[in-house]
Structure 1
Amino acid sequence: MNRMTEEGRKQLEELIAQVMKDGQARGIAVGIVDSDGQIQYENYFGYRDEENQLPITRDTIFGMASVTKSFTALAIMQMQKDGLLSVDDPVSKYVPEFTNKNLKEPVKLWHLMCHSGGFFPLPRIVINKTAQEMGIEDSLEDELIYREDFAEEGVRRVAERLDEQTRFTGRPGQRLSYCNDGFGLLSDIVRRHSGYGSFAEYLDKKILKPLGMDRSNISFIRNTLDDNAATLYSFENGEWRADRDYQNDAFVLHGGGGMKSTMGDMLKYAVMYLNEGTAENGNQIVDRYSIQEMGKPRQFMKPGIYYGYGLETKQLEDRAVYEHGGSLPGVSSNFSFCPQEEVGIVVLCNTMDVSVAAIADAALRAYCGLDVQEVRQNHNIRSWSRQEVEELAGRYVSGEGDTFELTEENGTLSMKVNGNPTDLQAVYPWQGMVRKKYSDIYLTAIRDEEGHVYAAHYGSRIFPKEMN
């Protein structure tokens, strides 16, 4: 088995320092574990609390954000194995509040598991606003994550809003557009139909405790009060904010981003995937078939990257890599594993919008004895056709609050993202690319049967085009 060389470690830690500088990251944890549970690399940079110079440890709690989606998909696969549901069933069978009324075909569980229900991005329904409107609050004695009335109100709001959509990205299962609402419904299916009474209880009894992940949970207030929980650093309204508000921008249903965990616990989680469902302690969490189904590429995300069930899949040369990242106020996270190299990688950060995926990729490359700097794809220079310019020009608005505009200038397209000029390069017919320092973002036209552009895939979302 490969081991990281001193030169590889040096290159990796130089890149980590650069990523921290670029993202103003306050603290980062990086770990590599093999399939036997042996730590191959573990290091901590910066602080869990910069103001008080408190160090990060293996037991420091970080937000996981969308890494949670792999836990939710794993729970659904467990329930399928136990005969409680089938991923081919319609969502409405388990969530009667969701009537599927404006779609001609049923949305199935597996569609939600790979973000292909057909829904455009929607404004986030958040925990604190919902609780406030219900006149309740979180407390250690009566946590929101266990309250049935809060869950029922959350699923009603999410399901009804999805039902109200009349424009869609396509048919159910046709194409990917990242959808937290869908994973919220999946976690409520776990709550209602597993026999455990809450998504939190199911995770604890069926996944976390069997894996020995004793510092992990989807609580909010418990982590806010934990002495070894990371302070969250967020850039909002032009200034940095530091707090331990784990409810900030948190979705009302917890399956899309509610998990909090530690380096020590997440390395155990990685070992389970490397052993196709069996934990380091010998407990079988799920069968091999279910793990393999989670990793299958089912939806195109961007060139070289596809989405399965709560996991993305890509290639590192001839190696398959499965991963998921996460981002919330004060949270940047990435979890990945490579079966061929028999290693898992965890990168956790207490600062928002930090390029932790670049660190994860560099860590795997260093472990494999490769140069940590990825060779980026270069494209032949091409021009937009007249038809592309005419069809793509317009304003695209996401319900999550982001917008971009494509305008014609001298026969080509110029781009602004949230009002900021952005260099968009034509790379293929109906597809452009924005080159960032650590990754590339692709823009792909979505066209109807007559060839007219009605939306565009940008990053992981499909943005509807504003109609005249």
Structure 2
Amino acid sequence: MTEQEKFEISVEKCMEDHQAVGMAIAIVDAQGVTKYEHFFGERDQETGKRIDEETIFGLASLTKSFTCLAILKMQEDNILSIEDPVSDYIPEFKGMNQGEPVLIKHLMFHSGGYFPQSRIVVDTVAAELGLDEAVVGDLAYNAELAQEGCRQVAGRLDAQKEFIGRPGEYFSYCNDGYGLLSDIIYHHGGSASYADYLLEHILKPLGMERSFCDFVRPLKDENHAALYAVIAGELTKVRDYHDNAFVLNGGGAMKSTLKDLKKYIAMYLNDGTGLDGTAIAKPETITAMTTKHQMDSYVTDYGYGLDIKELNGLQVAGHGGSLPGVSSHLLWCRERGMGVIVLCNTEDVPVSGVAEAALSMGMGFKAERIRHHYENKPWDTQTLKEACGVYASDEGTKVELFIGEAGEALLKNGDKVSAVTMIEPGHGMIAGEYGDTFIQMIADDRRGIFGMRYGSRILPRSKA
């Protein structure tokens, strides 16, 4: 059996296990040549319509790389410095209670010090303002919504009195921070909106003709992927792109196609230059994006809007995205001049493992994701006892660390209880078929163990 056949069988199993409706996968090189492309399933289960390279998918948090690229382009144009305080550019944000300034770069690598918050969504804020999209036009371009969204997001961050740490100390994934970055782009980038800035400075120059932040346009397009999520065990068609959409676009509003994203990845593989020779960003800007700035998880670091890790001994960069009807991942290796796009129209499908397997295959290795094997090195009894407890965030995640009957460490998330492999003091790993989840206990002298890094977020310890 060839590596390609093994890969396609593994993708089909992953889709079956997670009730995924459709998936598009491509491997592309630095010259924009497609080395592999395959379309699994359907873009619409009801009609049986197939996927092609022009099918529009949601990108969700893949948008963050576009946001950081835009911010760094503004730095190239001497509009700002990422070393500047955020409050210099957003009057609504004071950076209160922190003791030292939150800088633009801190938001770019999720290190403002803020615990995860519940999502402020487009529909709620639009309703508060009485904005009817049928009257005012697509909300991705609405100035009133953007202004009120910024006021609410900035106000909520300023209201926090307890922090993970000082700015720049800890990574904890923060959509609110990317919301503020999109406001900086909107007010200081010289375009009518964040969405317009991306169109004018990145998407159109790269020839990405079917890429945008619009909420309404995708579902009006004949060639769009219908949106699905598994709710209470049942595959359900999601309403539209407004569902759980963050009020500020910089964290997850982008939609695109396989064809367009090949051009986007090729730009990174060519140090900021598009396939037609158009310079989108300076080589040093791309280097900065793909340089490790902050530890994300035990095996992953974060650059600017990009995860950085090793795959088969080579450094790779990319990002994933998840929203109702969206599971997406980009991954590329600059050294090998090869990149991968995975787009899926079903939420919570582990496409990061699919992307790793595809890129491995494209680079001539076995078509499988990274699998780390760790010896269990139990924490000392006192540390484990101190770490046990419930950790929950306003964003909705709630986990409990406790000791099992045999003295082993267990972690409960919802109804699922998993064994924790203790990698080293304070660090653990929950193994999964399609991806591992890492935990880290967060402590200081004043609070003791006050938080747990679970995946990419630091959850505060419940006081009750």
TM over 0.5: yes
The sequence identity of aligned pairs, in percent, is 44
The answer to whether the 8 A contact 2:230-2:347 is kept is yes
Cα contact 2:109–2:305 (8 A) shared by 1: yes
- Give 1:32 shift: 1.0
Which residue of the partner structure matches residue 355 of structure 2?
Answer: 360
SS at match of 1:98: coil
Q: How big is each residue's C-alpha offset from its partner over 1:243-290, in whole Å with a ceiling of 9 and x where there is no partner?
A: 450111100000000000000000000010000110001111110010
- For residues 418 and 245 of structure 2, what CA distance do their matches in structure 1 show? 29
Distance 1:341 1:63 in 2: 28
For residue 452 of structure 2, what is the aligned residue in structure 1?
456
Aligned pair partner of 1:438 in 421, 434, 446: 434
Aligned 8 A contact 1:230 1:244 in 2? no
* Aligned residue runs from structure 1 range 79-228, under 5 A: 79-139=74-134, 142-228=137-223
- How many Å separate the matches in 2 of 1:272 and 1:125? 33
Equivalent-residue separation in structure 2 for 1:191 and 1:17 (angstroms):
41
TM-score normalized by structure 2? 0.97
Q: Is the 8 A contact 2:338 2:363 kept in 1?
A: no
8 Å contact kept, 1:140–1:222: no
Counterpart position of 2:310: 315
User: Is 1:416 aligned to 2:423, yes or no?
Assistant: no
For residues 124-146 of structure 1, the C-alpha deviation after alignment (integer angstroms, 9 at most, x for no partner) is 00111111121112238622122
Distance apart, 1:80 and its partner CA: 0.3
Between 195-204 and 313-322, the greater mean CA deviation after superposition: 313-322
Alignment partners' CA distance in 1, 2:136 and 2:180 = 26
Match for residue 34 of structure 1 among 29, 36, 45: 29
Aligned to 1:3: none
Secondary structure of the equivalent of 1:325?
strand
CA contact (8 A) 1:384 1:412 kept: no
Q: Deviations over 1:187-243 (max 9, x none)?
A: 110000011120011010000000000000000011121111110011224432214
User: Compared with structure 1, are the counterparts of its residues 105 and 141 closer, same or farther at alpha carbon in structure 2 (3 Å cutoff)?
Assistant: closer
The separation in 1 between residues aligned to 2:263 and 2:349, in whole angstroms, is 24
Mapping of 1:293-308 within 5 angstroms?
Answer: 293-308=288-303
Q: Which segments of 5 or more consecutive residues in structure 1 lack a partner in the other structure?
A: 1-5
Structure 2 SS opposite 1:444: strand
For residue 270 of structure 2, the aligned residue among 253, 268, 275 is 275
Shift of 1:451: 7.6
Q: Are 2:21 and 2:42, in contact at CA under 8 Å, matched by a contact in 1? A: yes
The aligned counterpart of 1:61 is 56
Shift of 1:372: 1.5
- The partner residue of 2:443 within 443, 447, 459 is 447
Moved over 3 A (4+): 408-413
Between 131-140 and 181-190, the greater mean CA deviation after superposition: 131-140
Shift of 1:311: 0.5
Contact 1:389/1:412, CA 8 A, preserved across alignment: no
Match of 1:251 in 2: 246
CA 1:409–1:8 in structure 2 vs 1: closer, same or farther (change >3 Å)? closer
TM-score normalised by the chain length of structure 1: 0.96
Match of 1:383 among 378, 385, 389: 378
**Partner Cα separation in structure 2 for residue 467 and residue 141 of structure 1:** 45
Q: Tell me, what secondary structure is at the counterpart of 2:462?
A: coil
CA contact 1:432–1:443 (8 Å) conserved in 2: yes
Distance 2:434 2:392 in 1: 25
Shift of 1:454: 0.5
Question: 1:422·1:434 contact (CA, 8 Å) conserved in 2?
Answer: yes
The 1-side partners of 2:417 and 2:376 are apart by 20
Q: Residues 450 and 163 from structure 1, CA distance in 2 versus in 1: closer, same or farther, beyond 3 angstroms?
A: closer
- Distance in 2 (CA, whole Å) between partners of 1:229 and 1:374 is 29
Give the counterpart of 1:345 among 340, 347, 365.
340
Aligned-pair distance for 1:373? 2.7
Point out the more displaced range, 76-85 or 221-230. 221-230
Tell me the CA shift for residue 166 of structure 1: 1.1
For residue 374 of structure 1, report the CA deviation from its aligned partner.
4.0
Judge conservation of contact 1:140–1:221 (CA < 8 Å) in 2: no
Q: How many residues align?
A: 463
Match of residue 234 from structure 1: 229
Q: Where in structure 2 are there 5+ consecutive unaligned residues?
A: none
Q: Deviations over 1:421-449 (max 9, x none)?
A: 22222221111111111111111000102
